[in-house]
Structure formats: structure tokens, C-alpha cells
Amino acid sequence: MNDIKNIVISGICRSGKSTLANRIFQRIKCSVIHCDALCERLKETYPETFDSEHRLDGTIQADKREIVVIRLIQTMGQTTGERFDHLRVYDTTVLTPETVASHLMTPDNFVLYLGYPNANPREKLDIVRSDPGCWLHGSTEDRALELITHFVSYSACLQEACARYNIPFVDMSYDFEEAISRAYNLVTGALVNRVEDIAAGAPNPHP
């Protein structure tokens, strides 16, 4: 039997992590945990612990929230009983490949990263702002472009680090639907033996 209990989708803001998590949910019996939302609530409650400034220089930087996400995944993995014996899918932006390599490269976890290292920042900003719910609508044009440019450079750093640690990375720079399908197939390929968790007769939304 496949031993995978956790799918961890990490990577860049606006790269399709939640979209992928929700598509997995459509196909497989699982729980989806949006870790960044939890971290934001903790940050509001304990600002002195979680508040930190990040340089917008496109480099990988340690995040204080990493320990929360790691502990969450590890603690949930230790929960036993029939009610909890199903797949869990986590999506987050805070885990670095180095942290994943140190704490999550075990048989019960499958980790992949999404990013857009080859995207044109201006074009990506236009796509992001086409979403009415995007948080960038509260930013000035210059600030929003600065953030997206940072995310593009950060994606390239993540891609390089993932290659170094042998962690799957899916480039979301171009055809979003095609890239999401590739990411989805990586996940379902890793779960190919977990047949009891595949919803009987449920169609694959992206074969």
C-alpha cells in the first residue's frame, strides 16, 4: 500500500496552490488545510512572534511561520483512528526547500512546489489583477509590480533549490491549465497505489 499521508503544495503567491489543492479534493477523499490562513490568524494574535519584514530581492529567506506549518503537518500525521485515516493536503507559501529536505522528506509525505520563474512581471500582474478577490488590488501599481517582480525572481531561486534537493517543481509561467494538469498528475502518480482513497467513479477533472 502507498504510505503517503500528506501532500504538501508549497511555492509562490498566486501560483495555483489552492487551485491544485481543490482539484485534488474533487478527486480524492482528503482534507485540505490552507496553512497561510492559519498563520495569518496567529500573526494577528501574536504579532511579536510572527511579524517580520522580508526583503524584496528575489532570494529565499527563512520565515518564522515555517515552524508552525512543520509542527502542524507532523502533529496531524500522528493523529490516529479510522476518522483520521485519509489523505491531508496542505498548501502554503512559507516552507523553504531546505526546511522540506530537513523535515518532510519521508515516505508519508509528498511535496511539490509551484512557481513562475519565466513569467513576464507585467503580464503576470495583469493576470493576477483580473481576479476580483486578489489582495494586490489594495496596492499601488508600482508596489504591485515590485511584488510580482520579486515573486518571479523568488520562483527561480526556488526552482534551483528544488533541483538541488530533488523536490518536484512545476513551472506555472505560461499555460496555467496545462501546468495545473502536470502538477495534478504528479500528485496522483505518487498516490497511484492508494486506491481505497480514490472516489469511486469520480471523473478525473484533468486527465
C-alpha span between 128 and 142 (Å, rounded): 15
Residue 203 has pLDDT above 60, yes or no: no
**Residue 75: count of CB within 10 angstroms of its CB:** 9
Report, at the CATH architecture level, how domain 6-196 is classified: 3-Layer(aba) Sandwich (3.40)
> Does 54 or 22 have the greater pLDDT score?
22
Q: Is the dihedral angle over the CA atoms 42, 40, 101, 62 positive or is it negative?
A: negative
pLDDT tens for each residue of 111-165: 999 999 999 999 999 998 888 877 777 888 999 999 999 999 999 999 999 999 9
C-alpha span between 154 and 29 (Å, rounded): 33
pLDDT of residue 59: 66
Residue 196 has pLDDT above 50, yes or no: no
Show me where the domains of the chain are located.
6-196
Q: What pTM was computed for the model?
A: 0.85
Q: In 3D, which of 67, 71, 94 has the Cα closest to residue 13?
A: 94
C-alpha span between 117 and 98 (Å, rounded): 19
C-alpha span between 55 and 138 (Å, rounded): 20
